[in-house]
Amino acid sequence: MTPPLQHDPVAQAHQNWAGHGWGESADAMAAVTSLFRAQQILMARIDAVLRPLDLTFARFEMLTLLGFSRTGAMPLAKASSRLQVHPTSVTNTVERLGQAGLVERRPHPTDGRANLIAITPQGRDLALQAARELNREVFSDLGLPAGGLTDLNRILGALRFSAGDFSEPSPLMGGTGGGPAGADDADGGPEPGAPDVESPGSGGIGEAPGGGEAPPPGPAEAAGPATARAAAEVVRPKRRRLPRA
């Protein structure tokens, strides 16, 4: 593991951004760059937990989505909507989970042209094991101060709402608006979160069949050569794209 840098490269990028006359955008640039870096840090921790189970976060999400449903099954289009990704990405994930015996396809009871994706008993057991280990190793302590998670969920919820990610204010935003509150529903229950990412170009956080492509240089690189070198050195896990939540 590369030793931590003495100084924050994002703070240096912020200073360089302002020095180039872009002071009005410096705070937002630093926030976006920090989000990318935080995603890398958290995905490295998540990968360390899921890799021994032969899971990616995308496959874990699919298993959890199905496991939270009342019937343990749903149409591919419904899963695609819940995970907020293209059906092709869901198909790719389902194929890999099916090869491992974790999900299976079943005929749709009312639509002869469609199939349901159903979790198997083996898939339920593995999803439960993965969830317990993620709770213990990652979700129980993200390294934030007391109250930080509530503030973070409120801020990110507001960002997602303003971007059109959902149409009614979320309880995570601190209001009393609609949105999933944790109860199961007939077609899938609450979404586990970020999207499946098994297809190339999906912009997600799992592996792509072709290995994917590296994301474009971020603001830290654009801020200057010294900052670019510092930002490159601090990245320890393999760079992955921020999910389109």
Residue-level pLDDT, tens digit, the chain, 245 residues: 678 899 999 999 999 999 999 999 999 999 999 999 999 999 999 999 999 999 999 999 999 999 999 999 999 999 999 998 888 999 999 999 999 999 999 988 888 778 899 999 999 999 999 999 999 999 999 999 989 999 999 999 999 999 999 999 999 998 644 433 333 444 433 333 333 344 333 333 233 333 333 333 444 444 443 343 333 333 344 444 444 44
Q: Which two tokens stand for residue 38?
A: 């935080």
Say if residues 191 and 82 touch (Cβ distance below 8 Å): yes
At residue 86, the pLDDT reads 87
| Dihedral-angle region of residue 92 (phi above 0 means left; psi in -120 to 50 means alpha; beta otherwise) | alpha
Tell me the pTM: 0.70
Beta-ladder partners of 117: 74, 105
Q: CA dihedral defined by 188, 193, 198, 200, rounded to 10 degrees?
A: 130
Q: How far apart are CA 57 and CA 171, in angstroms?
A: 24
Decide: 30 and 11 in contact? Cβ < 8 Å.
Answer: yes
Strand, helix or coil at 96? helix
Quote the pLDDT of residue 225.
36
Q: What is the pLDDT of residue 242?
A: 45
List the beta strands (DSSP E) in the chain: 73-75, 103-107, 115-119
